[in-house]
């Protein structure tokens, strides 16, 4: 049986095959994508040529280490595909993302991509989204007002995200509220309604964006589902 890390590594190496010569691709963020980036670095040294757009400073730093070229999103028209991780995926391919805090850039890059390929441990496939707390990125001014509105509108608990005993600050200098919805029956409506609260920058709900879900199993199998 593979460990969780082995599954991530297998997924990363598998997903590298989606990136072909001279492609322009978006590269996601997180511990699963980490293995993809490492594999791409290796393939680049072996002659694979491609250009990337990063979804976070973390990914940009790894690309610097691996000597992989990247553009800013504003230098490109559209991307052929983006490969990213996720925290939950439902059977329609709707996602919760942002466990690593990069949801804003991830969503912008995904929206500019013709395809969004998600690589996940199969345990992240769920029937209904929401057990994983939904990350909501908010501007720092008035964040408590946003928190109060989300808690009272939905009768749920939320928590300002911390990392290493300090408030977690996103790449775009915002805060994240982790929101325990438990059961998100209509991700489309929830995403839309959260955006109506002044101060909400983005939510971790990626609705009808993923085109392929690649799931890795502990027995070594990889399952590819096109949405
Ligand atoms: C970062 C993300 C990640 O894709 C998500 O949290 C999954 O990460 P990991 O592969 O480390 O489990 O959305 O903002």
In a structure prediction context, what are the per-residue pLDDT tens digits for the chain, which is 227 residues long? 999 999 999 999 999 999 999 999 999 999 999 999 999 999 999 999 999 999 999 999 999 999 999 999 999 999 999 999 999 999 999 999 999 999 999 999 999 999 999 999 999 999 999 999 999 999 999 999 999 999 999 999 999 999 999 999 999 999 999 999 999 999 999 999 999 999 999 999 999 999 999 999 999 999 999 99
Task: Kindly list the catalytic residues.
Answer: 106
CA-CA-CA-CA torsion sign (40, 42, 48, 53): positive
| Ligand 1 pocket, CB under 6 A | 28-32, 84-87, 97-103, 106
- Name the residue ranges covered by the structural domains of the chain: 4-126+207-218, 134-201
Tokens of 40: 């791409």
Q: Contact, 216 vs 121, CB < 8 A?
A: yes
Please give the distance, rounded to the nearest whole angstrom, from the Cα atom of residue 27 to the centre of ligand 1: 12
Tokens of 24: 């322009």
- For the domain spanning 134-201, the CATH number is 3.30.70.260
Q: For a substitution probing ligand 1, which of 99, 126, 201, 202 has the most ligand atoms within 8 Å of its CB? A: 99
CA-CA-CA-CA torsion sign (46, 116, 3, 101): positive
Please give the distance, rounded to the nearest whole angstrom, from the Cα atom of residue 31 to the centre of ligand 1: 7
Q: Contact, 30 vs 61, CB < 8 A?
A: no
Are 4-126+207-218 and 134-201 equal in CATH topology?
A: no
Reply yes or no on domain 4-126+207-218 having CATH 3.40.50.1360. Answer: yes
Index of the ligand 1 atom closest to the CA of residue 30 = 11
Please give the distance, rounded to the nearest whole angstrom, from the Cα atom of residue 83 to the centre of ligand 1: 11
Please give the distance, rounded to the nearest whole angstrom, from the Cα atom of residue 30 to the centre of ligand 1: 4
Strands (E) in 33-174, as ranges, are 50-54, 70-71, 81-84, 88-89, 95-96, 116-121, 134-138, 157-160, 162-163, 166-167
- Whose CA is closest to atom 6 on ligand 1? 99
């Amino acid at each position: 049986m593979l460990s969780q890390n082995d599954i991530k590594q297998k997924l990363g190496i598998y997903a590298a095959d989606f990136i072909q010569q001279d492609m322009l691709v978006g590269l996601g963020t997180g511990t699963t994508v980490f293995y993809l980036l490492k594999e791409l670095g290796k393939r680049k040294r072996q002659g694979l040529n491609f250009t990337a757009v990063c979804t976070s400073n973390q990914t940009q730093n790894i690309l610097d280490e691996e000597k992989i070229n990247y553009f800013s999103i504003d230098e490109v028209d559209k991307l052929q595909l983006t490969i990213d991780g996720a925290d939950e995926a439902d059977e329609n391919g709707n996602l919760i993302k942002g466990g690593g805090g990069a949801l804003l850039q991830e969503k912008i890059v995904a929206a500019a991509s013709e395809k969004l390929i998600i690589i996940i441990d199969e345990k992240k496939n769920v029937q209904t989204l929401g057990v994983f707390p939904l990350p909501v990125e908010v501007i720092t001014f008035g964040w408590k007002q946003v928190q109060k509105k989300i808690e009272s509108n939905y009768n749920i608990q939320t928590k300002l995200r911390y990392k290493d005993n300090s408030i977690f600050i996103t790449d775009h200098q915002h805060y994240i509220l982790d929101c325990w919805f438990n059961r998100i029956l209509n991700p489309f409506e929830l995403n839309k309604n959260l955006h109506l609260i002044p101060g909400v920058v983005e939510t971790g709900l990626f609705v009808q964006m993923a085109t392929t879900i690649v799931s890795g199993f502990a027995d070594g199998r990889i399952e590819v589902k096109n949405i």
